[in-house]
């Protein structure tokens, strides 16, 4: 379903691509993202307990091209990009402000937070990002069964193989 979604995405058939990606999510044998049923249960429980519900998948879709969560928001298929984390932080701050804090005259708080994000990013040495990209490359290889090194069954700590 994922590969079919990619094919439709390349052909510009975004709505059917989105449906294929959703089907892949629902049928994933080892899901790393929450499926529709669990999201519904979580939302229902939050409503029952009168707790604000913060739907990251909806937020990701809102900030992604064609309503398909992709590389604008996720560095891989699960983890947010730096900008994705910033968007989550801003939305969470707004949620906290709207539900638990008294209104303040800080209309430019989002501008101040974005300036703080930029200042922090500019303070990080380039090598940090290079190391992160290498780790991501290794993680992607691992998920595809192409990790470096001997198979686990050949590991010296494994007696009599697996």
Alpha carbon distance 58, 48 (integer Å): 20
Q: What percent of the chain has pLDDT over 90?
A: 35
* Interacting residues of 2 by C-beta distance below 8 A, sequence separation 6+: 20, 21, 24
pLDDT band at 159 (very low <50, low <70, confident <90, very high): low
Query: Tokens 């906290």 label which residue?
Result: 96
Please list the helix, strand and coil fractions of the chain in percent, rounded to the nearest 5, in that order.
60, 0, 35
What is the tens place of the pLDDT at every residue in 17-29? 999 999 998 998 8
Mean pLDDT across the chain: 84
Residue 2, CA atoms < 13 Å, CB-side half-sphere: 10
Pick from 136, 161, 137: nearest CA to 151: 161
Question: Is pTM beyond 0.75 here?
Answer: no
pLDDT at residue number 90: 87
**Mean per-residue pLDDT, 78-107:** 81
pLDDT at residue number 162: 45
**Mean per-residue pLDDT, 134-162:** 66
pLDDT band at 43 (very low <50, low <70, confident <90, very high): very high
pLDDT at residue number 70: 85
């Amino acid at each position: 379903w994922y590969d079919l979604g990619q094919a439709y995405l390349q052909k510009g058939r975004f709505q059917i691509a989105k449906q294929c990606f959703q089907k892949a999510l629902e049928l994933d044998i080892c899901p790393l993202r929450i499926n529709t049923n669990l999201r519904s249960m979580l939302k229902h429980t939050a409503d029952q307990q009168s707790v604000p519900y913060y739907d990251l998948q909806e937020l990701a879709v809102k900030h992604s091209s064609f309503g398909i969560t992709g590389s604008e928001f996720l560095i891989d298929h699960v983890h947010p990009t730096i900008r994705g984390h910033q968007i989550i932080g801003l939305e969470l701050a707004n949620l906290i402000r709207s539900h638990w804090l008294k209104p303040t005259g800080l209309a430019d708080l989002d501008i101040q937070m974005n300036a703080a994000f930029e200042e922090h990013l500019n303070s990080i040495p380039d090598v940090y990002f290079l190391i992160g990209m290498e780790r991501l490359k290794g993680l992607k290889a691992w998920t595809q069964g192409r990790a470096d090194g001997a198979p686990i069954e050949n590991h010296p700590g494994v007696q009599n193989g697996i």
